[in-house]
């Protein structure tokens, strides 16, 4: 079985927490990431100065941020299929308090 390999080629900020993502096959997706900004990895992206530092990683061809947040390029490419599941998952990230080591 063969799986398509999707590569992000370009990203543009088009609104508050909204990106337009372009792929090597010509597909474009406009994705509102705001509903996903929860939890330890994605929560810090609520800081617009961090969110706006998004870039395309030249090795793995996906979106990355300086804090280590990223997304699978196949998920971004097929966003309409995965969007609702990610929104539901983000609610769970919010419900789980971060683990703190030491006092």
Token pair, residue 91, equals 């609610």
- State the alpha helices, DSSP H only, in the chain: 39-42, 48-51, 73-77, 79-95
Backbone angles phi, psi at 33, to 5 degrees: -85, -10
In a domain, 2, yes or no: no
pTM higher than 0.75: yes
Token pair, residue 21, equals 């993502």
Helix, strand, coil abundance in the chain, percent, nearest 5: 35, 25, 40
User: Under DSSP, is residue 10 helix (H, G, I), strand (E, B) or coil?
Assistant: strand
In a domain, 87, yes or no: yes
What's the farthest any 2 CA atoms get from each other in the chain?
Answer: 50
CB atoms closer than 10 angstroms to residue 60 = 13
How far from each other are the two terminal CA atoms of the chain, in whole angstroms? 50
In a domain, 63, yes or no: yes
Q: pLDDT tens, 57-95?
A: 999 999 999 999 999 999 999 999 988 887 888 777 655
In a domain, 52, yes or no: yes
In a domain, 20, yes or no: yes
Structure letter (DSSP) for residue 45: G
In a domain, 100, yes or no: no
96 pLDDT above the threshold of 50: no
What is the domain extent for residue 74?
A: 8-95
Q: pLDDT tens, 2-53?
A: 667 899 999 999 999 999 999 999 999 999 999 988 888 899 999 999 999 9
The domain tally of the chain equals 1
């Amino acid at each position: 079985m063969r799986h398509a390999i999707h590569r992000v080629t370009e990203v543009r900020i088009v609104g508050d927490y909204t990106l337009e993502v372009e792929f090597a096959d010509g597909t474009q997706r406009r994705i509102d990431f705001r509903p996903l900004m929860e939890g330890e990895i994605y929560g810090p992206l609520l800081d617009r100065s961090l969110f706006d530092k998004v870039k395309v990683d030249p090795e793995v061809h996906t979106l990355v941020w300086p804090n280590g947040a990223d997304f699978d390029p196949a998920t971004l490419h097929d966003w309409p299929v995965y969007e609702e599941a990610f929104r539901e998952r983000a609610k769970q990230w919010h419900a789980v308090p971060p683990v703190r080591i030491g006092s």
